[in-house]
Structure 1
Amino acid sequence: SETVDELGMSSVALKDYPNATYSGFLKRLRPKGSGQTDPRYMAFYLRSPLFRKTMTNNAVMVLRASLNEQIFSYLKLLLPDFDAQMRIGDLLHRMDVKIDINHRINAELEALAKTIYDYWFVQFNFADAKGRPYKSSGGKMVWNDALKREIPAGWEVGTLNDLGQIVGGSTPSTANPKYFGENMIPWITPKDLSNNKGNKFIARGETDVSEAGMRSASLGLYPAGTILMSSRAPVGYLAIALNPVTTNQGFKSFVPSKGYETSFVYYSVQRSLPTIIQYASGSTFVEISGGVLKQVRIVLPAKPIAGDFCRRVESIVKRQQQAEQQNHELTRLRDWLLPLLMNGQLRVA
């Protein structure tokens, strides 16, 4: 690996893969006999902080971090009796299964919300005054020269700037340790959004900033419901803030403050991502500026129609939020239980 922290990451096969193979820079580990190691237990143990520390302490770092068979041969394992391994592995695996089910439910809900958005604002079949699909029911369409297409009568052409206030962020001086810590003000970086992939919402990142840090870097505090969009390294990661947050300079975020609600702004920005990414530029790394974002054209519906859409998807959004919160709590519980179960401080009845 390029770094020690990424060395020796493992994955356990819980079923046979008859035609599988694996590349170089990988080691395959097979139990020598039955009744010694439970695969589910090993899956969690090999990724536990306890074993990861053993792994990184024994790694060789020259041009790259590496481990060989000789080093592997003397790494010690903490193995409870087989029955205890099975109970621990089964408990932790059940938690992971529930987390995976929640992810899959949320993916289906997200696909449904996107379908409704496209039906309303791309195909223009939003509900008219009589509850019928507007365009399919003969609703009046007018030609728009700027977009070179027809749009519903009464709708306008605007830009992303019309969705809300577009704001950036910054980083306090890392030379002052008092500016950073835990249980302070949530400070989000593009890396946090990368680690948050698969989730729609975010509450905080790896590091918080203090009020003094915020003042030193002239950071703004953005309200819950703000749509965070990474504007560099890479461009286009999205998340909705669950609570007031601030960000570093790698963001152009949308504060819904111009009559359009969070869900409509979120899906409108998401729909515009191909154009946003196309406009990104830079020599060292590509990024998108606030000035360019303000020029990206979109179709603006009447605000009551956008509000109706948000009410239609409100139950979907709430269910997604609940599932993500449950996954967050399950992950915390699993990670807290892991070392206690493995060193015998706790037992599974």
Structure 2
Amino acid sequence: MSKAFEYQILGEVCKVINGRAYKQEELLKQGKYRVLRVGNFFSNNSWYYSNLELDEDKYCENGDLLFAWSASFGPKIWKGEKVIYHYHIWKLLPNTNKINKIFLYYYLFQRTNSMIGSTHGSIMLHITKGFMESLPVQIPNLVRQKKIASILSALDDKIELNNRINAELEAMAKLIYEYWFVQFDFPFDFAQGKPDSDGKPYKSSGGKMVWNKELKREIPEGWEVKELGRVLKTYLGGTPSTKIEEYWNGDVPWLNSGEISDFPIISSEKKISKKAIKNSPTSFLEKGSVLLSITRHLRVSILGIDACFNQSVVGIKENEQFKNSYIYFSVLSDIDRLMSLRTGAQQPHINKEIVDCSPFVIPGQEVLTLFYEKVEPIIQRIINMIIRNHTSMDKLKQ
């Protein structure tokens, strides 16, 4: 080991503080403090509240370092007002004479995946407080810690800016889709009788509409509605046997349903071998395909890489007529309906048949061509920016 680094035990350089466990009746719809649970920690924006006045160490303030240790895992620098943090979250108070808080955040972020291998519990996986406090931490001196933290923070700021730009770009593309294919106000040249980028909005300007019994609403004359599975090829994923070692740690990305929340998808936590693809029910799809998670919270994304996926994911392959940009926003606009069709109390889900039978609007080809000209460059710019973010982070980690 380099003399510039030394190992310390986390519990000797940082205090690990438990959050508070709550009874359901203590979680309110309104109150003085928001209660930060693991779901809120990552993506869930549905909050409970509390009016309880607790010991000061049961609150977290803006800038505090936290760590989720049950079901979902990882560190977070809290950005927001004073909240109460739940029992499944630790607050970490570093000894500032020994370890820099931001450096520790990035160190734990890097170590989280390896820590998950030490989880306990058959129903709800968790990391024990004893394990966390005894975790060896490889740290340089404080000057170098601060320098590393500064470099990584600057990169994170750049990535956050790029993510905001991407969100705005996706919102722009979504607005075009909704305006053209939900409100049916695509640009149309009535004199020439065809779509034109400089034309007037079709429906608002009196374009002819006809009743469609599948959608139970009017659609532009000449358009059709068919079942998605009749016009696009769909694939259900699968999981290679975990008992066969040669199936795993290969060079083919393999995705679980949780990873479909990324947009676009440009990496995977696990990889499998080509032999696993041949000898298991998993499916392989090329970059540009659309993926839909069909378990719990249904999400849709576009592959920025070639990848396989598990049985909680349905893949939809683009073709000459229907490109990923149109498929993606079509499925995205249908998520609420699909969510209402889920069954199963423990693991709410839909199946591939429901996806295949979903109504799919087939516009005229000229409208689609105009749409692709406007939206495909936006989608490609998003993918390129995410790839640059990922590449920069990988280089810095190395």
TM-score by length of 1: 0.78
Distance of aligned partners of 1:149 and 1:27 in 2 relative to their CA distance in 1, 3 Å threshold: closer
Q: Which residue of 2 aligns with 1:227?
A: 290
Q: Which residue of 2 aligns with 1:137?
A: 205
5+ residue gaps, structure 1: 337-349
2:213 and 2:235 map into 1 onto residues whose CA distance is: 30
1:267 and 1:168 map into 2 onto residues whose CA distance is: 20
5+ residue gaps, structure 2: 1-17, 19-37, 39-67, 190-195
Please state how far the C-alpha of 1:285 moved relative to its aligned partner: 2.7
1:128 and 1:153 map into 2 onto residues whose CA distance is: 13
Query: Which 10-residue stretch deviates more, 37-46 or 154-163?
Result: 37-46
CA offset digits 1:103-123 (Å, max 9, x no partner) = 111111111111010000011
Q: Which structure features the higher share of helix residues?
A: 1
TM-score by length of 2: 0.69
CA contact (8 A) 1:223 1:243 kept: yes
CA offset digits 1:264-286 (Å, max 9, x no partner) = 01110111111122222246533
CA offset digits 1:52-102 (Å, max 9, x no partner) = 86x998x9999964327xx85x87765544433322211111011111111
Q: Which SS does the other structure have where 2:200 is aligned? A: coil
Query: Does 2:145 align with 1:85?
Result: yes
2:135 and 2:243 map into 1 onto residues whose CA distance is: 38
Larger RCO, structure (CA 8 Å, separation 6 or more) = 1
1:101 and 1:154 map into 2 onto residues whose CA distance is: 43
Q: Which residue of 2 aligns with 1:109?
A: 169
Q: Which residue of 2 aligns with 1:43?
A: 105
CA contact (8 A) 2:235 2:316 kept: yes
Please state how far the C-alpha of 1:218 moved relative to its aligned partner: 5.2
Please state how far the C-alpha of 1:21 moved relative to its aligned partner: 4.7
Please state how far the C-alpha of 1:14 moved relative to its aligned partner: 8.2
Please state how far the C-alpha of 1:31 moved relative to its aligned partner: 5.9
Distance of aligned partners of 1:207 and 1:310 in 2 relative to their CA distance in 1, 3 Å threshold: same
Please state how far the C-alpha of 1:160 moved relative to its aligned partner: 2.0
Distance of aligned partners of 1:5 and 1:128 in 2 relative to their CA distance in 1, 3 Å threshold: same
Query: Does 2:173 align with 1:173?
Result: no
Distance of aligned partners of 1:23 and 1:166 in 2 relative to their CA distance in 1, 3 Å threshold: closer
- How many residue pairs match? The answer is 323
Query: Does 2:274 align with 1:211?
Result: yes
Question: Match of 1:179, as an amino acid?
Answer: Y
Q: Which residue of 1 aligns with 2:389?
A: 327
1:30 and 1:283 map into 2 onto residues whose CA distance is: 39
Please state how far the C-alpha of 1:6 moved relative to its aligned partner: 7.0
CA offset digits 1:145-183 (Å, max 9, x no partner) = 443322111111222224411211222222221122232
Query: Does 2:212 align with 1:150?
Result: no
Q: Which SS does the other structure have where 1:252 is aligned? A: strand
Question: Match of 1:120, as an amino acid?
Answer: W
Distance of aligned partners of 1:93 and 1:119 in 2 relative to their CA distance in 1, 3 Å threshold: same
Q: Which SS does the other structure have where 2:291 is aligned? A: strand
CA contact (8 A) 2:282 2:311 kept: no
**CA RMSD of the aligned region, Å?**
3.7
CA contact (8 A) 2:239 2:281 kept: no
Structure-to-structure mapping, 1:118-129, within 5 angstroms: 118-129=178-189
CA contact (8 A) 1:188 1:247 kept: yes
Query: Does 2:264 align with 1:201?
Result: yes
Question: Match of 1:257, as an amino acid?
Answer: N
Among all aligned residue pairs of Structure 1 and Structure 2, give the percentage whose two residues are the same amino acid.
28
